[in-house]
Chains A and B, each alone.
Chain A
Amino acid sequence: MTQSIKQSNRVLLAKLLATSVMMFLFALYVMPPLYNLFCEVTGLNGKTGGQYQATEVVVDTSRVVKVQFLATNNESMPWGFKPEVQSMEVHPGQEVEVRYLAFNPTGETMVAQAVPSVVPFKAAEYFHKTECFCFNQQPLDGGENAELPLRFIVDQDVPKQVHTITLSYTLFDITDKIELASTSP
């Protein structure tokens, strides 16, 4: 091999290696945030946004949207977990408060995390939470009860064909995860 070919082989090697390192970092650091952003923009997977700052709006009393509340325990989560009411009818623009009830029947302190999801997906971006227990982890001592508050507004711009919105919370036991995070470096 002549020296010039050797040189161009090395240059190409460096470029292609750099490309693969970039693709690795792309998968690790760009794809997950990009996916979350995409979900937030499109309401994909019924993901709801973060805390919403309520603004002065006129409540649209001409329309009624039914909001249903669901509660699910993930796999072996032993807590009692249910909404105070099964469903309610709200006007778009109106701020509403409901509560979920949680009960830890075990003898130990546990930490839970609720993850919300909305169907239909296209309603997700019109469902605003001004306060939600899902924003925080929920520690609960053994045998304790808790009332978990949720305040939300259905946006006035919610599409006309949406008559019912179903809000579902899945409750995860993250006690082990918290311990792992506090012990690992």
Chain B
Amino acid sequence: MAHGPAKGITRWLYTTNHKDIGTMYLWFSFAMFLLGGVFALVIRAELFEPGLQIVEPEFFNQMTTMHGLVMVFGAVMPAFVGLANWMVPMMIGAPDMALPRMNNWSFWILPFAFAMLASTLFMEGGAPNFGWTFYAPLSTTYAPPSVTFFIFAVHIMGASSIMGAINIIATILNMRAPGMTMMKMPLFVWTWLITAYLLIAVMPVLAGVVTMMLMDIHFGTSFFDAAGGGDPVLFQHVFWFFGHPEVYIMILPAFGVVSQIIPTFARKPLFGYASMVYATSSIAFLSFIVWAHHMFTVGMPVAGELFFMYATMLIAVPTGVKVFNWVTTMFKGSMTFETPMLFSIAFVILFTIGGFSGLMLAIAPADFQYHDTYFVVAHFHYVLVPGAIFSITAAVYYWLPKWCGNMYNEVMGKTHFWMAFIGLNLTFFPMHFVGLAGMPRRIPDYALQFADFNMYASVGAFLFGAAQILFLFNVIATIRGGRKATDEVWENPEGLEWTVPSPAPYHTFSTPPDVK
């Protein structure tokens, strides 16, 4: 049983090792992050000045669509699955994932899905241009022919996510070391368990909604076509029934990551462990009953608007519990500010800002004003970039020494942090102002009064992009060499992953550890 990795390309093609698969997920996600980032920079370059200068409006629409799809399904979700693959077995003292062959499959179908999605850029009629939310009838009656490839790509991504989620649930429920009770599990494991259940509940709904589109386009049904007795508003309900839990799928594992990192660098145990678990579960439950706050303006009875408004505001309560717990963990701690900690603290502060703009958007009457403006763009980028992206970055810096056995370059890491921090605030903070002033989203041109803020945003976006190149360089340099990391890596960190040598051997916990 105990053997090292196979040699050559077949190691990666046939591997069933959770560490190999985790590594592939992370590299894939980084590649998609760069691709989605290039799309974003095309958008920001076009918006640098008012007027049309670089791309055609039609291509601009393809860029906004592809940026959203690639970042959500290609960058953020696979990155978290990659982290789960690497860390969950090591955190619960399991030798590997529960279903290793399925694990291999769920990764290897992803490159095909995204190759298919990216290939639509070169097709006649262009790539999907209807926004990442692909509202019907834009995505049915008026869609480019490439929409069919988009639909199948989404089917494959969905299958991959569902298999990944099943694997994670089975690992967590069945493979824990003796003594590792549910309420002793690290918070990253808890948040991933809940996320995996969300995935199983809603990814099939996404598959369902694209299947209905497919049938409307090719087989003469009328799910979303009013002329045949359907209703385009139905699309929005089904989509957001998937879409709202989806946004928590992208943030709950992030909560888990910072809940691991902050105690280490505050040198205090996490404050309110049990309340963190219950808060995460509450957020997951609430995510199923708030979907219509994305569509306050479609026309709803007042009772409906009120219900979705109050239910949405209710989410601030468990989220507030988590934020207060992180702050309290840091309170009077002996804090040091290594790169993972910097990213985690920025996560807490900036994610809270995104949460507050979310509360503003939750107010139904005010939402009529903010709907489809840059204020919305500012809001969800504040929860996704310093939320999901910063936490993934923090996780990579935190666990990279364990993965490859070398310490990363701290100066380069901190430089990366400050470039990313300044870049992202410069990009997204002005969007609040132009949004409140009425600049609509997804339009390649804008009125002159928005010019200055858009120029700042574009400069910030390129700075943020440059920071990621530095990140890539730092990671490669760390893998190739550098100061050797100790087995503990940090000062008295909590968790089983720090009890194995650095770099983590190919097989860990072949015999289960003793959990006190």
In the assembled complex, which residues on chain A have CB atoms less than 8 Å from the CB atom of B218? 184
Q: Is there a chain A Cβ closer than 8 Å to B220's Cβ?
A: yes
Q: Closest B-chain residue to A5, C-beta based?
A: B174
Whether B227 pairs with A21 at a CB distance below 8 angstroms is no
Whether A9 pairs with B170 at a CB distance below 8 angstroms is yes
Q: Closest B-chain residue to A174, C-beta based?
A: B227
Q: Is there a chain A Cβ closer than 8 Å to B205's Cβ?
A: yes
In the assembled complex, which residues on chain B have CB atoms less than 8 Å from the CB atom of A47? 231
Whether B205 pairs with A24 at a CB distance below 8 angstroms is yes
Q: Is there a chain B Cβ closer than 8 Å to A88's Cβ?
A: no
Bound-state CA distance A22–B208 (Å) is 11
B-binding segment of A12-20, A57-65, A92-100, A143-151: A12-20
- Binary contact readout B190-212 vs A (1 if CB under 8 angstroms, 0 otherwise): 00000000001111110111011
**How far, in Å, is A25 (CB) from chain B's closest CB?**
8
Whether A115 pairs with B227 at a CB distance below 8 angstroms is yes
A-binding segment of B64-72, B234-242, B362-370: B234-242
Known: A1-B95, A181-B220. A23 touches B226 (CB 8 A): no
Whether A19 pairs with B200 at a CB distance below 8 angstroms is yes
B-binding segment of A27-35, A78-86, A101-109, A152-160: A27-35
Known: A12-B170, A13-B99, A26-B205. A184 touches B220 (CB 8 A): yes
In the assembled complex, which residues on chain A have CB atoms less than 8 Å from the CB atom of B204? 20-24, 26-27
> Which one, A27, A42, A43, contacts B205 given CB within 8 A?
A27
Q: Is there a chain B Cβ closer than 8 Å to A167's Cβ?
A: no
Give the top 3 A-B pairs by smallest Cβ distance, nearest first: A27-B208, A172-B227, A23-B204
> Which one, B222, B226, B304, contacts A170 given CB within 8 A?
B226
In the assembled complex, which residues on chain B have CB atoms less than 8 Å from the CB atom of A13? 99, 102, 166, 170
Q: Is there a chain A Cβ closer than 8 Å to B4's Cβ?
A: no
Bound-state CA distance A1–B99 (Å) is 11
Taking residues whose C-beta sits less than 8 angstroms from the other chain, chain B's interface range is 35 or more
**How far, in Å, is B239 (CB) from chain A's closest CB?**
10
> Which one, A12, A27, A44, A113, contacts B301 given CB within 8 A?
A44
In the assembled complex, which residues on chain A have CB atoms less than 8 Å from the CB atom of B412? none
Q: Is there a chain A Cβ closer than 8 Å to B122's Cβ?
A: no
**How far, in Å, is A176 (CB) from chain B's closest CB?**
10
In the assembled complex, which residues on chain A have CB atoms less than 8 Å from the CB atom of B273? none
Q: Is there a chain B Cβ closer than 8 Å to A121's Cβ?
A: yes
Q: Tell me what chain A mostly uses at the interface: helix, strand, loop, or mixed.
A: helix
Bound-state CA distance A110–B153 (Å) is 36
Q: Which residues of B in the span 4-51 have a Cβ within 8 Å of any Cβ on A?
A: none
Q: Is there a chain B Cβ closer than 8 Å to A51's Cβ?
A: no
In the assembled complex, which residues on chain A have CB atoms less than 8 Å from the CB atom of B166? 12-13, 16-17, 20
Q: Closest A-chain residue to B159, C-beta based?
A: A20
Q: Is there a chain B Cβ closer than 8 Å to A8's Cβ?
A: yes
Bound-state CA distance A74–B226 (Å) is 10
In the assembled complex, which residues on chain A have CB atoms less than 8 Å from the CB atom of B211? 24, 28
Chain A residues within CB distance 8 Å of chain B: 1, 5, 8-9, 12-13, 16-17, 19-28, 31-32, 35-36, 39, 42-47, 74, 113, 115, 121-122, 170, 172-174, 177, 180-181, 184
Whether A177 pairs with B228 at a CB distance below 8 angstroms is yes
Q: Closest B-chain residue to A181, C-beta based?
A: B220
A-B contact pairs, 18 of them (CB 8 A): A5-B98, A8-B174, A9-B170, A13-B99, A16-B165, A20-B166, A20-B203, A20-B204, A24-B205, A24-B211, A27-B242, A31-B208, A31-B238, A35-B237, A39-B231, A174-B228, A177-B220, A184-B218
Q: Closest A-chain residue to B210, C-beta based?
A: A27
Bound-state CA distance A174–B99 (Å) is 50
- Tell me how many residue pairs across A and B have CB atoms closer than 8 Å: 115
- Binary contact readout B207-251 vs A (1 if CB under 8 angstroms, 0 otherwise): 111011000001110110111111101100110011000000000
Bound-state CA distance A174–B170 (Å) is 49
In the assembled complex, which residues on chain B have CB atoms less than 8 Å from the CB atom of A184? 218-220
Whether A121 pairs with B301 at a CB distance below 8 angstroms is yes
Chain B residues within CB distance 8 Å of chain A: 95, 98-99, 102, 162, 165-166, 169-170, 173-175, 200-205, 207-209, 211-212, 218-220, 222-223, 225-231, 233-234, 237-238, 241-242, 299-301, 304
**How far, in Å, is B172 (CB) from chain A's closest CB?**
10
In the assembled complex, which residues on chain B have CB atoms less than 8 Å from the CB atom of A19? 200-201
**How far, in Å, is B360 (CB) from chain A's closest CB?**
26
In the assembled complex, which residues on chain B have CB atoms less than 8 Å from the CB atom of A31? 205, 208, 234, 237-238, 241
Whether B231 pairs with A113 at a CB distance below 8 angstroms is no
Whether A115 pairs with B226 at a CB distance below 8 angstroms is yes
In the assembled complex, which residues on chain A have CB atoms less than 8 Å from the CB atom of B98? 5, 9, 12
> Which one, B169, B205, B227, contacts A113 given CB within 8 A?
B227
**How far, in Å, is B317 (CB) from chain A's closest CB?**
27
> Which one, B169, B220, B225, contacts A12 given CB within 8 A?
B169
Q: Closest B-chain residue to A4, C-beta based?
A: B174
**How far, in Å, is A75 (CB) from chain B's closest CB?**
9
Whether B299 pairs with A45 at a CB distance below 8 angstroms is yes
Whether A28 pairs with B208 at a CB distance below 8 angstroms is yes
Bound-state CA distance A102–B231 (Å) is 24
Whether B300 pairs with A44 at a CB distance below 8 angstroms is yes
Whether B200 pairs with A172 at a CB distance below 8 angstroms is no
In the assembled complex, which residues on chain B have CB atoms less than 8 Å from the CB atom of A27? 204-205, 207-209, 212, 238, 241-242
Q: Closest B-chain residue to A28, C-beta based?
A: B208
Q: Closest A-chain residue to B167, C-beta based?
A: A13
Whether A16 pairs with B169 at a CB distance below 8 angstroms is yes
Bound-state CA distance A11–B422 (Å) is 49
Q: Closest A-chain residue to B208, C-beta based?
A: A27
In the assembled complex, which residues on chain B have CB atoms less than 8 Å from the CB atom of A177? 220, 222, 225, 227-228
Whether A20 pairs with B162 at a CB distance below 8 angstroms is yes
Interface centre among A8, A24, A170, A181 (most CB of B within 10 A): A24
Q: Closest A-chain residue to B218, C-beta based?
A: A184
